[in-house]
Amino acid sequence: MARAHWGCCPWLVLLCACAWGHPKPADLGGQDVRNCSTNPPYLPVTVVNTTVSLTALRQQMQTQNLSAYIIPDTDAHMNEYIGQHDERHAWITGFTGSAGTAVVTTKEAAVWTHSRYWTQAERQMDCNWELHKEVGTTPIVTWLLTEIPAGGCVGFDPFLLSIDTWESYNLALQGSNRQLVSITTNLVDLVWGSERPPVPNQPIYALPEAFTGSTWQEKVSGVRSQMQKHQKAPTAVLLSALEETAWLFNLRASDIPYNPFFYSYTLLTDSSIRLFANKSRFSSETLSYLNSSCTGPMCVQIEDYSQVRDSIQAYALGDVRIWIGTSYTMYGIYEVIPKEKLVTDTYSPVMMTKAVKNSKEQALLKASHVRDAVAVIRYLVWLEKNVPKGTVDEFSGAELVDKFRGEEQFSSGPSFETISASGLNAALAHYSPTKELNRKLSSDEMYLLDSGGQYWDGTTDITRTVHWGTPSAFQKEAYTRVLIGNIDLSRLIFPAATSGRMVEAFARRALWDAGLNYGHGTGHGIGNFLCVHEWPVGFQSNNIAMAKGMFTSIEPGYYKDGEFGIRLEDVALVVEAKTKYPGSYLTFEVVSFVPYDRNLIDVSLLSPEHLQYLNRYYQTIREKVGPELQRRQLLEEFKWLQQHTEPLAARAPDTASWASVLVVSTLAILSWSV
């Protein structure tokens, strides 16, 4: 599952209603539990008292002559997940939801957030804060115009606003006699003081060559080649997204939850390489790997992370043209580069190159999915035995599947917060349990597991929905229609360079036929030990066209409010399609290898083509995962796999002829020999 853009997927508007991702525990509904009109006010025990911190923040605002101060819930690199060091929004408001913007004036304080988090915000924020149940810059600016006087200044940290977000605020305030003021020293940080968690200092390490598709020198040469061919002749490329620098140099660390990145920027010219990071975190071996002791065009000069703005500003004084990807560059960098010296594209050349995996990267990612399938199958087998005992809840289940993944070779933790949802909780597409708030798993309910792992050779993301008892006819129909949508898109043949948005409806067609639908996106890119939601690949309108070598998830779903949820997610590689006549066509090769739940499939809804595809897929699972289970003496899991990948035969409706049944069954059997 995925969310629209924080880092691995760009924020195109402030506080977008994210279509992709795995946020923190979702809003569970209910009315505002706060009563701020009583004396004293009634507040739940979960609220955080922010009076002292707000008073201190307003004192800092006064020293800067500010009427208001904007506090976004992001970091300087628009990461999807942010480290504790950057959780300014949560610290100042008490609200820990993963989407929100706070604004503080001299007398008022308010938070704007998505509907998923309304109840959570009401349970965590004290009466110093108003909750606004809207998102986007427009309602924030409307509120500001009523709260601050003409001539007032609205302060913000330029490293926490993207270019697009700054432009939307600036445009909305034009002509209002209120001014946006960029302040590079974050005022919340000043108030937070010594209580603020330190910047991570774990080692930054180089991936072994066996786990990289190309050397960093080859990647640098490739980017420089693109610079030389660019019609605007940029003299430098500036990389602001953490995944860009990590990919370019084959370096990894653990600064960001679920993502193996480190705080950094890179300025690459035709004759120099400047990496802005904490040099003390590089071992002597890693510095040698980067050729950091020399000054030539293939020598990486390590400069202090905090100096990036000054260094870029100084470089921009020369006869230069700096190439940036606007989707990831923050206003704090953008504002110091003269506009005539900018070369802008939506995505940097590194982001575009990284989206297409070479043959070695493809093989690595496929291998990680085989081991990942072993972990998921171990978990499903364990659930079948233990759920009937009534001893498993959503949270303990999530912990166990993470544990199984951690036992796999080359594991480096989960790739996002596991969505482990039973019954009505699964109807919340982004629900994740907590130790305090969870539901027992039951044989009488559907269970949805959306989880993934980080491995040195790849990143995984897979969703399976199961039912251990007797599902209703509607549950089986809905599940089967979701499965048909997954199959229809996975087996689709389409012209090369087709936008994912143009084919996305194939995943919905079987649901639409019955008047059903789902409210999230259909897929997202995925990285090689990088982002689980890797931009700019996917099926949204702002994704780039599909190309051979890209990986994307395919994940249709259906959610019955208050009852159950279904999602079936696989990762697939874009490959050349074999067509009857010559042409440039593409299709998908699924690389997730866990069978679907036979208990939920209504085979009477499947066409002969669906059955043939499904049985071929099951044969592939046997061939890929079966030997690994046997090699590791996981005999119970191997037996389970054999049972759950038996060929499916058609069960024709009553009106179908015996001839139709014979044709479908024959196709299913013949598929094993293909």
Structural domain contains residue 42: no
Residues 301 and 251 in one domain: yes
Structural domain contains residue 94: yes
Residues 133 and 209 in one domain: no
Return the pLDDT at 37: 65
Structural domain contains residue 75: yes
Residues 372 and 289 in one domain: no
- DSSP letter at 256 equals B
In which band, very low, low, confident or very high, does the pLDDT at 97 lie, cut at 50, 70 and 90? confident
What CATH number did the domain enclosing 139 receive? 3.40.350.10
In which band, very low, low, confident or very high, does the pLDDT at 33 lie, cut at 50, 70 and 90? low
Residues facing residue 484 across a β-bridge: none
Structural domain contains residue 447: yes
Backbone angles phi, psi at 63, to 5 degrees: -65, -25
Distances from the Cα of 599 to the Cαs of 308, 567, 644, 647, 659, in angstroms? 56, 15, 10, 14, 26
In which band, very low, low, confident or very high, does the pLDDT at 236 lie, cut at 50, 70 and 90? very high
In which band, very low, low, confident or very high, does the pLDDT at 36 lie, cut at 50, 70 and 90? confident
Q: How far apart are CA 94 and CA 86, in angstroms?
A: 14
- Please give the distance of CA 646 from its chain centroid, rounded to a whole number: 34
Q: What is the pLDDT of residues 534-565, one digit of tens each?
A: 999 999 998 999 999 999 999 999 999 999 99
Return the pLDDT at 637: 98
H-type alpha helices, 37-114: 51-63, 88-93
**pLDDT average, residue stretch 582-602:** 98
Structural domain contains residue 66: yes
In which band, very low, low, confident or very high, does the pLDDT at 34 lie, cut at 50, 70 and 90? low
Residues 181 and 210 in one domain: no
Q: Look at the chain and report how many structural domains it folds into.
A: 3
Residues 630 and 542 in one domain: yes
Radius of gyration of the chain (CA): 26
Q: How far apart are CA 534 and CA 524, in angstroms?
A: 7
Q: How far apart are CA 445 and CA 638, in angstroms?
A: 26
Q: What is the pLDDT of residues 617-629, one digit of tens each?
A: 999 999 999 999 9
Distances from the Cα of 547 to the Cαs of 105, 313, 503, in angstroms? 48, 36, 14
Structural domain contains residue 456: yes
- Confirm if 184 and 157 have CB atoms less than 8 A apart: yes
- Of 669 and 239, the structure prediction assigns the larger pLDDT to 239
Q: How far apart are CA 309 and CA 337, in angstroms?
A: 10
**Range with lowest mean pLDDT among 283-292, 562-571, 634-643, 646-655:** 646-655
Q: What is the pLDDT of residues 348-381, one digit of tens each?
A: 999 999 999 999 999 999 999 999 999 999 999 9
- DSSP letter at 296 equals S
In the predicted model, is pLDDT for residue 31 greater than 80? no
Q: What is the pLDDT of residues 273-324, one digit of tens each?
A: 999 999 999 999 999 999 999 989 999 999 999 999 999 999 999 999 999 9
What CATH number did the domain enclosing 516 receive? 3.90.230.10
Residues 374 and 497 in one domain: yes
Give residue 181's domain range.
50-195
Residues 152 and 286 in one domain: no
Return the pLDDT at 20: 40
Residues 102 and 59 in one domain: yes
Residues facing residue 430 across a β-bridge: none
Return the pLDDT at 120: 83
Angle, vertex CA 48, rays to CA 46 and CA 52, nearest 5: 165
Name the domain boundary from 330, 354, 378: 354
Residues 332 and 364 in one domain: no
In the predicted model, is pLDDT for residue 232 greater than 50? yes
In the predicted model, is pLDDT for residue 7 greater than 90? no
Structural domain contains residue 660: no
Structural domain contains residue 654: no
Residues 349 and 364 in one domain: no
Q: How far apart are CA 144 and CA 135, in angstroms?
A: 14
Name the domain boundary from 139, 167, 195: 195
Name the domain boundary from 337, 354, 371: 354
- Please give the distance of CA 391 from its chain centroid, rounded to a whole number: 31
Q: What is the pLDDT of residues 246-268, one digit of tens each?
A: 999 999 999 999 999 999 999 99
Residues 350 and 363 in one domain: no
Return the pLDDT at 48: 85
